[in-house]
């Protein structure tokens, strides 16, 4: 600023002067503050962070809560989190906690996950008795509060606990697997507040009691909050065994979701075998296991620009950020063929906000897929019936061409399938649709084979 008499709305005092540093000098001066959010930068707080699960077990001992345990029936696999703590990831008998954004907008995301579980003979339940975590709305609008978020969390997880009774099985048979990154981050935060605040527990206990959602008169808290990408990560070797399409020619960039690894960061999986343990392991791990080249890029730690409110009502920010800080860098710097994500909002933002770039001469068309969609695709899932790639605005077709998939033939098959449904023909389903009703009027008990 050359003229300090011109007032600016910057918050700087009148004594402020430009430093007039050269670009190199400015880089040196600010490098310390621009360090990325890699593992090292987050280890600084290690000694001051407690493992909330210790307090959770104590609360159970004190008779305050009941913990929904991950037991042998869930075939758990241990993973290491940020500080080297163990996290138990259930791999079987899973209750799908769907994502409202995924299901409404990119349905091939959950469909690919269920397809993969079918391929691997994993038992699961996809039912209608669940709500959104409501955190997208909360973070966007401020409508909601810690009590409502906690009550929704406890209600949904209680339903996961009792759902198997509809099939004549014991409570706790299914363990909840959270599809959305925001739900995952939100639930972890809320669980921490519930464990620490007797006042909050008391307030929501009254609500859950009214709903008939207590277990032996107590709140039910899950032992671990598990994101689907963690399931994919610990199952990555078994998934890769099913691979039928080579993808070693692909350069992939990974966008890790903020609400997955920046909210309650101590609960996030890091693996020394994945990017030297300095990046979030999920998604990168499976893509490497499948043989694609994962390319690091300078803005890997940046958010996607979703903004919760911004994606809906202030899209100039969302699209500018998505294009300039993510897509442009992935294409120009990393020469990426595909960007892989593991969260609803990020996939939506990065996928849908490329076309508008043409308005300012940014002609990018980078295919965007979730890790499990990519995995399903190279394991032979149908690109339209299962991966549902037609809901993606980005050019998934160019990706399929690089993978040697004849997408036009597959698209024609799908269009024929649509005609078949239209004519009243059978719909293909990944599970017996009768299982999706687990209670209330219209519910009928279905005998299970196993």
Residues 106-125 interacting with another protein (rule: CB under 8 A) = 107, 110-111, 114-115
Contact by Cβ (8 Å): 219, 201: yes
Cα–Cα distances in angstroms (integers) from residue 235 to residues 43, 54, 107, 217, 375, in the given order: 27, 27, 22, 36, 11
Query: Which of 53/213 has CB closer to another protein?
Result: 213
Rg (CA), the chain: 23
Question: Does residue 277 touch another protein according to CB under 8 A?
Answer: no
Q: Shortest approach of another protein to residue 168 CB, angstroms?
A: 19
CA dihedral 57, 60, 65, 71 (to 10 degrees): 70
Question: Does residue 84 touch another protein according to CB under 8 A?
Answer: no
Query: Which of 246/296 has CB closer to another protein?
Result: 296
Residue listed under structure tokens 């935060």: 189
Which of 179, 160, 176, 159 lies closest to 111, judged by CA?
Answer: 179
Distance of CA 287 to the CA centre of its chain: 16
DSSP label of 425:
P
Q: Which two tokens stand for residue 120?
A: 């691997």
List the one residue from 69, 77, 80, 140 that touches another protein (CB under 8 A). Answer: 140
Site string for another protein, 346-375 (x = CB under 8 A): ------xxxxx-------------------
Measured between alpha carbons, how far is 376 from 221 in angstroms, rounded to an integer?
32
Is residue 255 classed as helix, strand or coil in its secondary structure? strand
Query: Which of 90/185 has CB closer to another protein?
Result: 185
List the one residue from 98, 191, 201, 205 that touches another protein (CB under 8 A). Answer: 98
Q: Say if strands 77-80 and 86-89 run parallel, antiparallel, or are unpaired.
A: antiparallel
Question: Does residue 219 touch another protein according to CB under 8 A?
Answer: no
Question: Does residue 259 touch another protein according to CB under 8 A?
Answer: yes
Question: Does residue 404 touch another protein according to CB under 8 A?
Answer: no
Q: Shortest approach of another protein to residue 400 CB, angstroms?
A: 12
Question: Does residue 73 touch another protein according to CB under 8 A?
Answer: no
Query: Which of 30/249 has CB closer to another protein?
Result: 30
Q: Shortest approach of another protein to residue 411 CB, angstroms?
A: 7
- Put the strands of the sheet holding 251-255 in their side by side order: 293-294, 251-255, 338-341, 368-370
Q: Which sign does the torsion angle of CA 276, 279, 280, 286 carry?
A: negative
Residue range at the interface with another protein (CB under 8 A); choices 16-24, 137-145, 161-169, 269-277: 137-145
Q: Shortest approach of another protein to residue 178 CB, angstroms?
A: 15
Of 158-197, binders to another protein (CB under 8 A) are 159, 185, 193, 196-197
List the one residue from 79, 221, 303, 377 that touches another protein (CB under 8 A). Answer: 303
Question: Does residue 423 touch another protein according to CB under 8 A?
Answer: no
Spell out where 64-148 has E strands.
65-68, 77-80, 86-89, 94-97, 124-125
Of 227-256, binders to another protein (CB under 8 A) are none
Query: Which of 103/240 has CB closer to another protein?
Result: 103
List the one residue from 335, 406, 428, 448 that touches another protein (CB under 8 A). Answer: 428
**How many other C-beta atoms lie within 10 A of the C-beta of residue 10?**
8
Of 3-62, binders to another protein (CB under 8 A) are 7, 9-11, 30, 33-34, 37, 41-42, 44-45, 48-49
């Amino acid at each position: 600023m050359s003229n300090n008499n011109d007032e600016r709305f910057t918050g700087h005092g009148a004594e402020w002067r430009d430093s007039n540093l050269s670009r190199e000098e400015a880089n040196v001066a600010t490098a310390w503050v621009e360090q990325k959010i890699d593992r090292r930068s987050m280890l600084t707080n290690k000694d001051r962070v407690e493992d909330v699960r210790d307090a959770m077990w104590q609360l159970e001992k004190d008779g305050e809560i009941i913990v929904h345990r991950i037991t042998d029936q869930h075939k758990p696999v241990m993973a290491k989190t940020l500080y080297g703590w163990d996290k138990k990831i259930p791999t079987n008998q899973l209750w799908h906690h769907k994502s409202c954004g995924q299901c409404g907008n990119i349905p091939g995301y959950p469909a690919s996950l269920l397809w993969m579980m079918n391929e691997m003979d994993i038992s699961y339940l996809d039912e209608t008795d669940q709500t959104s975590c409501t955190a997208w709305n909360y973070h966007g609008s401020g409508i909601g509060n810690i009590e409502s978020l906690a009550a929704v969390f406890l209600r949904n997880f209680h339903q996961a606990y009792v759902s198997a009774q509809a099939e004549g099985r014991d409570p706790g048979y299914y363990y909840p697997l959270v599809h959305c990154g925001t739900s995952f981050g939100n639930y972890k935060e809320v669980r921490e507040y519930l464990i620490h605040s007797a006042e909050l527990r008391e307030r929501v206990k009254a609500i859950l009691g009214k709903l008939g959602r207590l277990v032996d008169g107590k709140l039910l808290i899950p032992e671990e909050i598990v994101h689907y990408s963690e399931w994919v990560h610990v199952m990555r070797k078994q998934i890769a065994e099913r691979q039928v399409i080579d993808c070693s020619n692909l350069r992939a960039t990974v966008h890790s979701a903020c609400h997955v690894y920046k909210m309650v960061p101590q609960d996030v999986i890091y693996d020394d075998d994945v990017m030297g343990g300095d990046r979030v392991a999920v998604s990168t791990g499976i893509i490497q296991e499948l043989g694609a080249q994962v390319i690091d890029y300078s803005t890997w730690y940046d958010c996607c620009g979703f903004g919760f409110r911004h994606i809906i009502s202030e899209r100039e920010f969302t699209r500018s950020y998505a294009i300039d800080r993510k897509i442009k860098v992935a294409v120009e710097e990393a020469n990426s063929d595909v960007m892989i994500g593991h969260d609803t909002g990020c996939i939506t933002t990065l996928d849908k906000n490329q076309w508008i770039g043409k308005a300012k001469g940014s002609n990018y068309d980078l295919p965007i897929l979730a890790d499990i969609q990519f995995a399903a695709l190279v394991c032979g899932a149908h690109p339209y019936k299962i991966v549902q790639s037609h809901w993606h605005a980005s050019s998934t077709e160019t990706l399929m061409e690089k993978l040697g998939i004849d997408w036009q033939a597959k698209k024609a098959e799908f269009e024929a399938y649509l005609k078949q449904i239209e004519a009243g023909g059978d719909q293909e389903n990944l599970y017996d649709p009768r299982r999706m009703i687990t209670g209330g009027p219209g519910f009928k008990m279905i005998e299970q084979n196993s």
